[in-house]
Amino acid sequence: MKSLSYLNKYFIRYKWLLFLGIIFLIGANLFNVIIPLIVSDAVDDMEQSISGDNWMHVAFYLGGMYILFSLIKGVFVFFQRQTIIKMSRHIEFDLKNEIYTQYQRLNYNFYKANATGDLMNRISEDVSKVRMYLGPGVMYTINLVFLFIFVIYSMMKINVELTLYALTPLPLMSFMVYKVSSRMNRQSEQVQRSQSEISTIVQETFSGIAVLKTYAGEPKAKSKFNLASNQYLQRNMNLVITNSLFMPTITFLIGLSTIITIYVGGLLSYEAQSTVTNGNIVAFVIYVNMLTWPFASVGWVTSLVQRAAASQERINEFLKASPEIVNPSDEPFNFQGSIRFENVSYRFPNSGIQAIENLSFEIKPGETLAILGRTGSGKSTIIHLLLRQFDPDEGMIYIDEAPLNNINLSAFRNQTGVVPQEVFLFSDTIENNVKFGVAENESANRVQVEEALIKAHVYHNVTNFKKGLDTILGERGVNISGGQKQRVSIARALIRNPKLLILDDCLSAVDTETEETILNNLKNQIDKNTSLIVSHRVSSIRHADRIIVLDNGKKIEEGKHDELLALGGVYADVYNKQLLEEQKKKSL
Ligand SMILES: Nc1ncnc2c1ncn2[C@@H]1O[C@H](COP(=O)(O)OP(=O)(O)OP(=O)(O)O)[C@@H](O)[C@H]1O
Ligand SMILES: [Mg+2]
């Protein structure tokens, strides 16, 4: 339960709504307990002079009062919901924003360590469970307290003995309801789990439809789905049984209360000098019924609060996580173009892989450094380190001779254009996907978007689409080819006129001729500004000012293209092999 105390700050923020809500709630309950008294009077009046003029009094005065008070109570109930439930929605909104903001603050390693589904659940399912506590949970609890006080007071005022008799079944009812509703919760959680299993299966089937079809995997997918939906059905059936038990249990116990009230009330009213009237017995029956739902809801609210506490605990875990890397400074930063790695080492904490080992290199302003290396040799890790997705275990990285850890990180990132190895495009128009690259505080028009696309050598493809720049790309840009996606991603990096351009193996999906064209188009950008190019292909990097060859996180060769060829090492080897392949392709 302690986890829920985190929400107190929100109760304080919306204290007026809560306060007003409680006032309305008290009002509603006051009128609620007066109504049975009117009925009681009416019964007694009718009994005394069923044929007298009294029927006018009963019909108009008491009847009118009954209607009026019911209406007023209704108005109070309306406003009670308007304030307390409203408060819960406001808090839900704030909490979601808080979690989302926190997600934005957290770094690369956090996202690597947590599954996307988990992150999504925190912000949707867990928050909605917490909301149930904030709204209905709080409202029913306060309601129960006041209703209980008012009703017991009214009953006691009529007759203490009868009150005690009438209430005997209530604790038993609360206990039974608690049992039944925790069973119901358990089972509905199982149902929900089944349901999300089904959605996962269906979602995977859709996104992997190409693989599924080509492997003729329909029967496999179908049997997997059948299994899951059978389980879903079975679990729902269990829930139906429990649900069916709920109402009869309550009805039985209310019936018991009512019978006791009438029986004991009847006996009492026969006693000499009895103060219990028939009208009182009727009022008691109404009171007992009035207490039923709130008591029944004790069990429901208890399990609701328990679930909210569990959810809030999970949320708190995320909220408490502090980002390993925060922007150390707000000072304006203007990148001049020099980068230096000094004995940098990095080991991935989760896999224990030593991705970079004692690596040093330098890029001077305007220079182009190229990195070549086998898959898994640590090339992408260098880029992550340079953009400070995570910090090196040992060694230092200097930007313009200042430690990377000291400079304004967002300013530095804003001046960098990265084309990552794994292209990600939003489900949005091509134009907006490119414009995403526009640096903060700057803007770009359509012509600039077109220019970027032309440089990335993809504009001619885009104009072929019916809607041109307004073509919406699928969730992962499914309606354009892999090479086209890479080039849209390049345009995104170019549109920000970066002072540092980083290309992480981003031409792997295009043929050598297209690659040549693109590199030619980028020549101006690359010549003027500092650039870092990662590639498997010698052809894309041969013109770089310096090339380093990486193996297992270590630098094994360094120099210009010609120097490395003369060296006759790994680079020369790779070059000769690729040259041979090219010639083979051309001769075909
Ligand atoms: N998030 C991660 N968690 C754990 N290990 C990782 C992670 N990312 C990369 N690695 C490991 O670190 C090593 C270097 O990976 P990196 O991505 O830098 O290679 P790369 O040279 O870019 O390879 P490729 O040419 O295939 O892109 C690899 O052995 C890889 O398995
Ligand atoms: Mg890589």
Whether residues 72 and 216 fall in one domain:
yes
Please identify, by atom number, the ligand 1 atom nearest to the C-alpha of residue 351: 4
Q: What confidence tier does 476 reach under pLDDT thresholds 50, 70, 90?
A: low
Final residue before a domain boundary, out of 320, 339, 360: 320
Mean pLDDT of the chain: 88
Domain count along the chain: 2
pLDDT at position 131: 93
Q: How far apart are CA 104 and CA 357, in angstroms?
A: 30
Residue 181 lies in a domain: yes
Segment 514-533 shows an average pLDDT of 88
3-class SS letters over 533-579:
EEECCHHHHCCCCEEEEEECCEEEEEECHHHHHHHCCHHHHHHHHHH
Average pLDDT over residues 492-515: 87
Say what the pLDDT of residue 79 is: 95
- Which amino acid residue places its CA nearest to atom 17 of ligand 1? 380
Per-residue pLDDT, averaged over 284-296, amounts to 83
Q: What is the pLDDT of residues 300-333, one digit of tens each?
A: 788 788 888 988 998 998 899 888 888 888 888 9
Residue 373 CB–ligand 1 contact under 6 Å: yes
Which pLDDT belongs to residue 49?
Answer: 66
Q: Whose CA is nearest to atom 24 of ligand 1?
A: 375
CATH number at residue 263: 1.20.1560.10
Report helix angle 482-494 to 446-455, nearest 10: 120
Distance 501 CA to ligand 1 centre (A): 21
Ligand 1 contacts CB of residue 377 (under 6 A): yes
Mean pLDDT of 163-178: 83
Same domain, 236 and 369: no
385 and 267 share a domain? no
CATH assignment at residue 544: 3.40.50.300
For atom 1 of ligand 1, the residue with the nearest CA is 112
- Of the listed ranges 303-307, 315-319, 383-387, 446-450, the least confidently predicted one is 303-307
Residue range 135-153, pLDDT digits in tens = 999 999 999 899 989 999 9
Give yes or no for residue 420 CB within 6 A of ligand 1: no
Cβ of 352 less than 6 Å from ligand 1: no
Answer whether residue 79 is part of any domain.
Answer: yes
Question: Are 311 and 371 contained in the same domain?
Answer: no
In a domain, 360, yes or no: yes
Q: Where in the sequence is the domain holding 400, given as residue range(s)?
A: 331-415+537-588
| The pLDDT of residue 489 is above 80 | yes
Same domain, 97 and 193: yes
- pLDDT given at position 187: 86
**Is the pLDDT score of 588 beyond 80?**
no
Alpha-helical segments (H) within 426-475? 430-435, 446-455, 459-464
Q: Are 285 and 262 in contact (CB under 8 A)?
A: yes
**Which of 251, 286, 320 represents a domain boundary (last residue)?**
320
Long-range CB contacts for residues 317-322, cutoff 8 Å, separation at least 24:
318/99, 318/102, 318/103, 318/119, 318/122, 319/6, 319/98, 319/99, 319/102, 321/102, 321/106, 321/110
Q: What is the mean pLDDT of residues 74-102?
A: 94
| Tally of CB atoms within 10 A around 333 | 19
Identify the residue whose C-alpha is closest to ligand 1 atom 14. Answer: 378
Predicted confidence at residue 54, as pLDDT, reads 67
Ligand 1 centroid to 553 CA: how many Å?
10
Claim to verify: residue 177 and residue 59 sit in the same structural domain: yes
What is the reported pLDDT for 52?
A: 60
The residue type at 471: T
When mean pLDDT is compared across 38-47, 113-122, 388-397, 447-456, the lowest value belongs to: 113-122
Does some domain include residue 560? Answer: yes
Same domain? 354 vs 411: yes
As a whole number, mean pLDDT of residues 556-561 equals 92
Q: Is 70 inside a domain boundary?
A: yes
CA of 355 to the centre of ligand 2 (A): 11
pTM for this one? Answer: 0.78
pLDDT at residue 487 is higher than 60: yes
Cα of 120 from ligand 1 centre, angstroms? 26
**86 has a pLDDT exceeding 60:** yes
The enclosing H or E element of 362 equals strand 354-363
Domain boundary among 285, 320, 355: 320
pLDDT at 379: 93
pLDDT tens column, 254-267: 888 889 989 998 88
Measure 426 CA to ligand 2 centroid, in angstroms: 21
Does residue 535 have its Cβ closer than 6 Å to ligand 1?
Answer: no
* Distance from Cα 420 to the centre of ligand 2, integer Å: 9
Contact 575, 538 (CB under 8 A): yes
For residue 451, pLDDT over 60 is answered with yes
Residues 168 and 108 in one domain: yes
d(CA 49, CA 37): 19
CA–CA distance, 392 with 234 (Å, rounded to integer): 52
112 Cβ below 6 A of ligand 1: yes
Q: Which of 107, 345, 350, 351 to mutate to test the pocket of ligand 1 (most atoms within 8 A of CB)?
A: 351
Confidence at residue 477, expressed as pLDDT on a 0 to 100 scale? 56
| Residue 90 near residue 14, CB atoms below 8 Å | yes
Residue 523 has pLDDT above 60, yes or no: yes
Residue type, 193: R
Which one-letter amino acid corresponds to residue 35? I
**Residue 350: its pLDDT value, please?**
83
Q: Is the pLDDT of residue 179 over 90?
A: no
pLDDT the model gives residue 507: 81
With a pLDDT cut of 90, the percent of the chain lying above it is: 44
Q: Which pLDDT score is estimated for 50?
A: 61
In a domain, 438, yes or no: no
- In a shared domain, residues 224 and 335: no
Nearest atom in ligand 1 to 384's CA:
18
Residue 453: inside a domain: no
CA 403 to centroid of ligand 1, rounded, Å: 24
Q: How confident is the model at residue 338 (pLDDT cuts 50, 70, 90)?
A: very high
